């Protein structure tokens, strides 16, 4: 595959884009804004909540991500799985590998921030918002690379992460564990997530409906890589009642293999296209998430229960060696990056919230 970066002034009309104009229209109606040829932003509900004085997301409570200063986006619209619990639906493209033009990292960041701020323009007059939060919203301090598709497939994923860091924007990257070669490319990211959607191969095939025939081996490779990463790592389980809340032994083996700093156990949410496959009853309540987490913990002696966020029905487990220092010390993270020296995840973990200012 030939990689060609597209500059803002270049026309790419002749090249096949990642989504059709029909798909683009549907996504725009759903609140997305397409950025360049393959990226998109959408205002996270928690960004709006924070600006409306209703509190931050669970990543604010767990790690100190300031939701009103968070840019939710993706650098790729396609995905290599067709997960039944995903809300985006099969209208979104699926592919095993990258196709279409490639925008430059700086172009994506500039235009993503512009699109994000323009979507938030209407919040200026909300009487429930404090002026301080409204002013701060223009100063993006965090990016959550997830939203839709597989952002990690962007050929310049490491370069864009570095560009975000140069702007003092922290980075969370979520992947469904199908692209080990892309994980290898990433030098440093504030926190890397692997979504592990099932405890064994047959259940993963049923739930994720992956395109890759070697999906399980790919996931195993990603777990092996996760274990070697020096930055903060997290495994996220999306719990679907009567579907994947089973085989605790299977989950524990996968988690031990990846040896992440953190484990999030989160309830499946009955929204969007996932309603075609599941019922509202498939959402576990907070007690069920809590109990499942405690049962899993019995098989993971290196981890402990740290905290939970009831509105999102999510529990956080962390390595005992971190001594519950789950918050990110952002100033330290950027200082360590600037130093050019190697560092470990513990080096930028904090016992208190350390805002990224």
289 binds ligand SF4 (CB under 6 A): no
115 binds ligand SF4 (CB under 6 A): no
Considering beta carbons, is residue 112 or 225 the nearer one to ligand SF4?
112
**Least separation in angstroms between CB 233 and ligand SF4:** 16
Considering beta carbons, is residue 62 or 154 the nearer one to ligand SF4?
62
Q: Is 357 in a helix, a strand, or coil? A: coil
47 binds ligand SF4 (CB under 6 A): yes
CB 198 within 8 Å of CB 228:
no
**Least separation in angstroms between CB 217 and ligand SF4:** 30
Segment contacting ligand SF4 (CB under 6 A): 28-36, 59-67, 104-112, 323-331?
Answer: 59-67
Residues 163-192 interacting with ligand SF4 (rule: CB under 6 A): none
CB 204 within 8 Å of CB 198:
yes
Residue selected from 44, 240, 296, 315 as contacting ligand SF4 according to rule CB under 6 A: 44
Instruction: At 317, give phi and psi (nearest 5°).
Output: -110, 145
**Least separation in angstroms between CB 46 and ligand SF4:** 4
The HSE-up count of residue 120 (CA atoms within 13 Å, CB side) is 32
Q: Pull the structure tokens for residue 22.
A: 């029909």
Q: How far apart are CA 311 and CA 31, in angstroms?
A: 22
CB 190 within 8 Å of CB 328:
yes
113 binds ligand SF4 (CB under 6 A): no
Burial class, 279, CB count within 10 angstroms (exposed 0-12 / middle 13-18 / buried 19+): exposed
Segment contacting ligand SF4 (CB under 6 A): 67-75, 81-89, 96-104, 317-325?
Answer: 67-75
- 240-249 burial code (b ≥16 CB/10 A, e <16): bbebbbeebe
133 binds ligand SF4 (CB under 6 A): no
For binding to ligand SF4 (CB under 6 A), which residues are involved? 44, 46-47, 57, 59, 65, 67, 70, 72, 144
């Amino acid at each position: 595959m030939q990689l060609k970066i597209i500059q803002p002034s270049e026309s790419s009309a002749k090249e096949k884009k990642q989504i059709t104009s029909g798909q683009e229209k549907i996504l725009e109606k759903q609140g997305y804004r397409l950025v360049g040829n393959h990226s998109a932003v959408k205002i996270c509900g928690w960004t709006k909540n924070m600006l409306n004085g209703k509190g931050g997301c669970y990543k604010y409570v767990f790690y100190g991500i300031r939701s009103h200063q968070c840019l939710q986006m993706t650098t790729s619209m396609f995905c290599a799985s067709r997960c039944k619990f995903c809300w985006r639906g099969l209208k979104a493209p699926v592919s095993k590998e990258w196709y279409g033009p490639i925008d430059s990292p700086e172009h994506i960041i500039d235009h993503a921030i512009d699109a994000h701020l323009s979507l938030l323009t209407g919040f200026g007059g909300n009487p429930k918002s404090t002026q301080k939060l409204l002013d701060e919203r223009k100063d993006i301090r965090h990016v959550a690379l997830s939203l839709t598709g597989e952002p990690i497939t962007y050929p310049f994923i490491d370069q864009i992460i570095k560009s975000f860091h140069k702007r003092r924007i922290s980075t969370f990257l979520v992947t469904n564990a199908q692209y080990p070669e892309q994980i290898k490319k990433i030098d440093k990211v504030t926190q890397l997530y692997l979504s592990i959607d099932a405890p064994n191969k047959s259940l993963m095939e049923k739930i994720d409906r992956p395109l890759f025939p070697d999906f399980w081996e790919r996931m195993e490779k990603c777990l092996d890589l996760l274990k070697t990463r020096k930055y903060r790592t997290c495994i996220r389980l999306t719990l679907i009642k009567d579907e994947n809340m089973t085989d605790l032994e299977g989950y524990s083996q996968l988690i031990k293999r990846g040896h992440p700093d953190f484990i999030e156990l989160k309830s499946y949410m009955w929204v969007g296209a996932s309603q075609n496959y599941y019922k509202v009853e498939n959402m576990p309540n907070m007690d069920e998430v809590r109990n499942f987490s405690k049962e899993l913990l019995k098989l993971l002696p290196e981890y402990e229960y740290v905290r939970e966020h009831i509105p999102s029905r999510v529990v956080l487990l962390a390595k005992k060696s971190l001594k519950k220092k789950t918050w990110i010390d952002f100033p330290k993270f950027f200082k360590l990056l600037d130093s050019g020296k190697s560092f470990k995840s513990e080096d930028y973990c904090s016992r208190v919230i350390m805002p990224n200012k």
